Structure 1
Amino acid sequence: MANLDVLCVGSSVVDIPLHPVDRSVFDTVSYPVDDISMQVGGDALNESIILSRLGARVGLVTAVGDDAAGTFITTTARSEGVDVSRVRVRRGLTTSLNIGLVQPDGERTFITNRNGSLWLTEESDLDVSGRIGFAKILAFGSIFNNPLLSGAWIADLFHRAKAAGMTVCADMVPSRTGAGIEEIAEALGYVDYFFPNASEAIALTGAHDEFEAAAVLERHGVTNTVLKVGARGCLVHNAHTTEVVPAVGRDAVDTTGAGDNFAAGYICALLRGMNSIDAAVFANGVAGLSVTRLGATAAVRSLEQAEEFIAGIDATGT
């Protein structure tokens, strides 16, 4: 019997968003912004916190340094009800700090430390022993996000999860090392739900558009491809349907972590027994709510809040 609903594997960082910032920042000696604060971030950490707030039992497998930022991450995750017993605290590793330059329209650019944990997490840092088979879903934060994790290691992780009866969900970011679909082809064959955005999927597959990209991913063994298509919502593709599900939300304050919130929302919907389309509606709503405040985990507080937000949008149509 599973004692967790979801096991989140991947990166955990500290985000420091600066908002609002435009290009004139480089022409000014002192540039005032509305807020500068430390916030948790990183794909696996974001997903684990949002899933816990949505009512799931969640475990986190990640690596941080033996430093103040690492302590901030583990303390925050624990306070959110996340099981942090498999968080590796590695002496000599610097926990990554990401500076987010958030534009007035909510779009952002991250400045990252190439000598931090995001870049230097090793396969041996992510210890899933005693956890495979004891959760219903494996959520792999983002393929390619930790450059030292090989495609073979990811494929082995996914294979073991599937053999233990777990549902495998994964997201991705563009490779930092130039790796392509051939590097993760074996891993994709084990993925039940894949959540890249459209541009990532098109670049990965060499397709002309998101529809072709989804078809290519299906040929590589992905059971359900759910492509995030920005303000249009998401494209759900599987053997039975191909459908664009409209976005749910209003103007964005900060899009940081919207994709992680989307993935968490979709996984929560799967746990609640929703079909692929209804899950997409709910995930779009969680993502739409997430961008209404600054930071990746600041907006979404509970399942009831998310449901009320979605119902309110449906009622007003905006």
Structure 2
Amino acid sequence: MTSRPICVLGNLNVDLVMGPLADWPQPGTETFVDRCDFRAGGSAGNTALVLQRLGARAGLVSATGDDALAVMLAEPFYGPLDRIARLPGRSGITVGVAHPDSDRSFLSYAGHLDRTDLGFFREALAGWPLDGALALISGGFAMPGLHRHQRALLDHLRLEGAEVAIDPGWPDDGWTPRNRAEALSCAEAADHLLLNDKEITGLTGRDTADAAVTALAETLASDTTIVVKCGARGAIAAGPSGRHEATAAACAPFDTVGAGDAFNAGYLAALAKGHDIGHALQAGTDTAGAVIAAFPRETGPIAAPGRRRSA
């Protein structure tokens, strides 16, 4: 089966994951944790790395700073469809703090991500085979230079012939009226809207993911597929092909950082191979489970996921 190319656009930065941490340290004190991993990450970077492990025909369009970390960040992305630029300034860093219940909190320094704006991405996409491709904009709210212009980038991708997906992430200043309006404008231009359960309830103001999906479906175009990643509860999707659910295998991971990004990779890789939404939803769920099962993160191949359990 011929697979369509997948273009991942967004944030590439260093991820420092530490924990577990039950309580935040008091000012002026020092706390030691048992586990740590230092790796290339960011929402788009995580998805692109998992697509490599799935053997997908994919490329990352992103950037690093011009410091010593740039070499580590760019090293995994040497394929013919990767476009990694160096921008002035220090590379962005995210510290992920793992909690005993497998949840996590983040502290982020944007660094070079301030300069990954609309002009940068349009220039970096020159020559990329977008016609017929799948394109994901990931981590838009983590890129101060882009997030007010995500809709324009989505429109550009669509004009170039791509089927587009968006995973905006969590806005730094919360779901303000302006951030909601921006996210909804982008969702209107997307074929696939990929959110987690906290993001979709924050966006819509509803109490549950199910209620949020119903409310959002009434707002968006009928050809938009809304996907909600619910962690250990699996995932749900609603769109032109109806409603679908996927179940997650039982596990107790230490590090869930990037689980949603891994889901995005499995979901898009399945769509690129021509599978339907139900299969893709399960593939995303299975891929996320396979990735977060290991700490530190592995880099080897992941077996083809996506056994269809429900539709």
Q: Same fold (TM over 0.5)?
A: yes
Query: Residues 300 and 190 from structure 1, CA distance in 2 versus in 1: closer, same or farther, beyond 3 angstroms?
Result: farther
Q: Call closer, same or farther: CA 1:77–1:133 in 2, change over 3 Å.
A: closer
Partner residue in 1 for 2:104: 108
2:130 maps to amino acid: G
Partner of 2:188: 189
Aligned-pair CA distance for 1:113: 1.8
Identity in percent = 25
- Find the aligned partners of 1:82 and 1:96 in 2 and give their Cα distance: 24
Q: Report the AA paired with residue 246 of structure 1.
A: T
Distance 1:40 1:249, change over 3 A: farther
Give the match for residue 127 of structure 2.
Answer: 130
**CA pair 82-35 structure 1, distance change in 2 beyond 3 A:** farther
Q: Deviations over 1:108-132 (max 9, x none)?
A: 2222225x23455333332322226
Query: In structure 1, what is the Cα distance between the partners aligned to 2:246 and 2:115?
Result: 37
SS at match of 1:200: helix
Between the aligned partners of 2:28 and 2:172, the Cα distance in structure 1 is: 31
Residue pairs, 1:32-71, within 5 angstroms: 32-71=32-71
- RMSD, aligned CA: 2.7
Distance (whole Å) between structure 1 residues aligned to residue 159 and residue 117 of structure 2: 24
Cα distance in 2 between the residues matched to 1:6 and 1:157: 16
Corresponding position: 1:142 with 2:139? yes
Within 5 Å, give how 1:161-200 maps onto structure 2: 161-177=157-173, 178=176, 179-200=178-199
Give me the whole-angstrom Cα distance separating, in 2, the residues matched to 1:207 and 1:270: 29
Gaps of 5+ in 2: none
Residues 280, 299 of structure 1: alpha-carbon distance in 2 compared, 3 angstrom cutoff:
farther
Instruction: State the one-letter code of the partner of 1:266.
Output: Y
Mapped to 2, the partners of 1:49 and 1:233 lie a distance apart of 22
TM-score (ref. length: structure 2): 0.86
The answer to whether the aligner puts 1:205 opposite 2:200 as a matched pair is no
How high is the TM-score relative to the length of structure 1?
0.84
**Could you say if the C-alpha distance between residues 145 and 82 of structure 1 is closer, same or farther in structure 2, counting changes exceeding 3 Å?**
farther
- Number of matched pairs: 300
Quick one: distance in 2 between partners of 1:158 and 1:242? Answer: 25
Unaligned stretches of 5+ residues in structure 1? none
Q: Equivalent of 1:154, from 150, 158, 177? A: 150
> Structure 1: which amino acid aligns with 2:39?
Q
Where 2:18 maps in the other structure, the secondary structure is: strand
* 8 Å CA contact 2:87, 2:112 repeated in 1: no
Runs of 4+ in 1 over 6 A off after TM superposition: none
What is the deviation of 1:59? Answer: 1.7
Q: Does residue 268 of structure 2 align to residue 267 of structure 1?
A: yes
